[in-house]
């Protein structure tokens, strides 16, 4: 029977999410990969145990994480039921809806029908009465923003989520959505977006600046650029890499000669800081305290422990930041 480490809350810093009362661990565990039915269940358990034993209280899912769709929630729900049930009130569990989930016109995007039905399904898969944060997963230009935000508000009013968030929004749409949700007195507290040394989209589209201005939290996913910001590609493309095994999210043509040189140079900067490239990349995300938490994925418990060591040094000199920019932009 699993018993959590008694010292778990002395191992990791927690940051307030915007101006809300909710605090997030600076590092959170994402279940986008490695929790589908094609993965080993005992390894999934070990990943969750290692995370929680080291202060990671936040577990992030979505309706279609797998494969197949829904299987990550089912597997995580099994771990909750078997091992983590008594710790439910110590856990921060989030899920999302917005991408393709089931066939037909009601299994996608941002309609009230889809969002509410999807969360009902997610709760059943995980065996929960509520999630702590429910996100709309992407912008939907064809559904009125008032309808999507109204659905999020209804979900909170029904008690099926404590807070709501927005994922993959830009700064302009975030501002409009925030105004609607504020008028509804809906607890919108967080934005989830891709962000890394190699992907500065939230800086370029105004999301990071707008979230800070509105006092909303940000949680960053893909902080290691699907593995590019690790030591895996310093000597080429390994056979077991994501480029080789799953070309949906990381394609071989991305790994140009210029990119390989950038990775090597960034690795040297990390060495000078006494960090691995992955540790430096995670620390870089959190350097200015605008990003609340960074989402990591892991296939082995050891990867979680290595990533957590990034929190030992998240301060950067102006010279280091310039060198990183020179070798990534």
Q: What is the pLDDT of residues 9-32, one digit of tens each?
A: 999 999 999 999 999 999 999 999
CA distance 111 to 128: 23
Q: Is the pLDDT of residue 302 over 90?
A: yes
Residue 243 has a pLDDT of: 60
Structural domains of the chain, count:
1
Assess if residue 130 is contained within a domain. yes
Tell me the average pLDDT across 65-89: 98
Q: Give the residue numbers spanning the domain of 219.
A: 8-231+288-315
Measured in residues, the chain has a length of 329
Residue 112 belongs to some domain of the structure: yes
Rg of the chain (C-alpha set): 19
Percent of the chain with pLDDT over 70: 95
Q: Is residue 239 part of a domain?
A: no
* Residue 233: pLDDT band with limits 50, 70, 90: confident
To which residue do tokens 């997030």 refer?
Answer: 24
Which CATH number characterizes residue 112's domain? 3.20.20.100
> Of residues 234 and 161, which shows the higher confidence score?
161
Distance CA 72, CA 58 (A): 15
- C-alpha 155/C-alpha 137 separation (Å) is 15
SS (H, E, C) 114-171: HHHHHHHHHHHHHCCCCEEEEEECCCCCCCCHHHHHHHHHHHHHCCCEEEEEEECCCH
Mean pLDDT of the chain: 95
Residue 91 lies in a domain: yes
Which residues does residue 133 pair with via DSSP β-bridges, in sequence order? Answer: 94, 163
The answer as to whether 265 is a domain residue is: no
The answer as to whether 260 is a domain residue is no
The answer to whether the CB of 63 falls within 8 A of the CB of 95 is yes
Q: Each residue of 102-139: pLDDT tens digit?
A: 999 999 999 999 999 999 999 999 999 999 999 999 99
- Put residue 227 in one of left, alpha, beta given phi > 0 → left and psi -120 to 50 → alpha: left
Looking at the domain assignment, is residue 257 inside a domain? no
Chain segment 251-299, per-residue pLDDT in tens: 667 788 899 999 999 999 999 999 999 999 999 999 999 999 999 999 9
- The answer as to whether 292 is a domain residue is yes
Q: How do beta strands 27-30 and 23-25 pair?
A: unpaired
């Amino acid at each position: 029977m699993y018993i959590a480490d008694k010292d778990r809350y002395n191992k990791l810093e927690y940051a307030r999410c915007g101006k809300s009362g909710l605090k997030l661990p600076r590092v959170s565990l994402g279940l986008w990969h490695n929790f589908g039915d094609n993965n080993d269940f005992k390894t999934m358990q070990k990943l969750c145990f290692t995370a929680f034993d080291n202060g990671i209280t936040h577990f992030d899912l979505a309706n279609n994480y797998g494969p197949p769709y829904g299987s990550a929630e089912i597997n995580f729900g099994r771990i909750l039921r078997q091992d983590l049930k008594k710790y439910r009130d110590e856990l921060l569990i989030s899920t999302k809806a917005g991408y393709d989930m089931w066939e037909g016109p009601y299994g996608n995007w941002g309609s009230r029908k889809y969002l509410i039905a999807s969360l009902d399904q997610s709760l059943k898969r995980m065996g929960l009465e509520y999630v702590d944060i429910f996100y709309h997963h992407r912008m939907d230009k064809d559904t009125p923003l008032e309808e999507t935000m109204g659905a999020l508000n209804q979900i909170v009013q029904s008690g099926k989520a404590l807070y709501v968030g927005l994922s993959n929004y830009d700064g302009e749409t975030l501002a409009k959505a925030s105004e609607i949700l504020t008028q509804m007195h809906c607890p919108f507290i967080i934005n989830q977006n891709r962000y890394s040394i190699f992907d500065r989209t939230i800086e370029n589209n105004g999301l990071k600046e707008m979230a800070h201005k509105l006092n909303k939290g940000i949680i960053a996913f893909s902080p290691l650029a699907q593995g590019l910001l690790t030591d895996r590609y310093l000597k080429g493309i390994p056979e077991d890499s994501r480029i080789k095994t799953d070309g949906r999210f990381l394609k071989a043509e991305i790994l140009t000669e210029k990119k390989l040189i950038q990775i090597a140079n960034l690795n040297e900067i990390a060495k000078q800081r006494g960090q691995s490239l992955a540790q430096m990349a995670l620390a870089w995300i959190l350097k200015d305290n605008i990003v609340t938490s960074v989402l990591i994925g892991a296939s082995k418990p050891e990867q979680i422990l290595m990533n957590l060591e990034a929190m030992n040094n998240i301060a950067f000199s102006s010279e280091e930041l310039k060198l990183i920019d020179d070798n990534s932009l």
